Copies of this chain bind each other. A is one copy, B any other.
């Protein structure tokens, strides 16, 4: 059996530590092609490049692994890979990350890491986004390998339901070992933004967005619970945003 073809992308940029860890782990499972942003794209959500051009250049920063840096967003990277670079060979798996920082709960919507995975699912490909719940650029990834590979292997072996990508979050390295893997739902939570107002050297106002993550979900079946309790969380995510329950509510209540 030929080795599976695995497309690797991310949102922290092609020089981040997290993508290097992921490339090394995926190289043990299959043939890897990397297409990743040439600069950090955190918080890019599902942005794509419209009304502007894209660059795509080969790079040897991963040695023998075929790799390209792209001027666009994570979703652009997956589109270029699928519809330009790999036009004769469909990837068997799309993986994105490993993100430096949590993408649990509603952060999935802002996450460039997850947009690459969801773009993969939109293309009909099995896809996984990985995040380590540690924002530091020199985060300790030493405990992630077995979980990252285990989940990728399961997806390669069994596939995923149509239209679904996995949002995988891994607890930060702690003194105690990770307890295992939990399949769960997205926690109900929000960001309470605060804007730090400053003055530039000419006296003009500018803003820094800051904020606190507020978890108001009392359940124990969600990703925030899993991370807090030292489990790897796996949330199956869909790109059909339809709130099906609301269709009948609107049809019954509204007067058109």
Mark A residues whose CB is within 8 Å of B: 40, 42-51, 53-56, 75-76, 79-80, 82-84, 106, 108-110, 115, 118, 122-124, 150, 154, 158, 160-161, 163-164, 167, 180-181, 183-186, 188, 190, 192-195, 197-198, 204-209, 211, 234-247, 249-251, 253-256
Contact = CB atoms under 8 A, between A and B. Distances in A.
Contacts of A42: 50-51
Copies of this protein chain in the complex: 2
Given A183-B250, A250-B236, A254-B158, A206 B243 contact: no
Contacts of A181: 256
23 contacts: A42-B51, A43-B47, A43-B50, A45-B45, A45-B48, A45-B75, A45-B115, A46-B109, A53-B206, A84-B195, A106-B239, A109-B239, A161-B249, A163-B243, A164-B246, A180-B256, A184-B247, A186-B241, A236-B246, A236-B247, A238-B242, A239-B241, A241-B241
A190 B78 CA distance: 14
A155 B177 CA distance: 49
Contacts of A109: 46, 118, 122, 239, 241
Contact of A206 (B54, B150, B234): B54
B43 A243 contact: no
Contacts of A255: 154
B83 A48 contact: no
Contacts of A44: 45, 47
Contact of A207 (B54, B161, B198, B239): B54
Contact of A241 (B206, B238, B250): B238
Contacts of A249: 161, 236
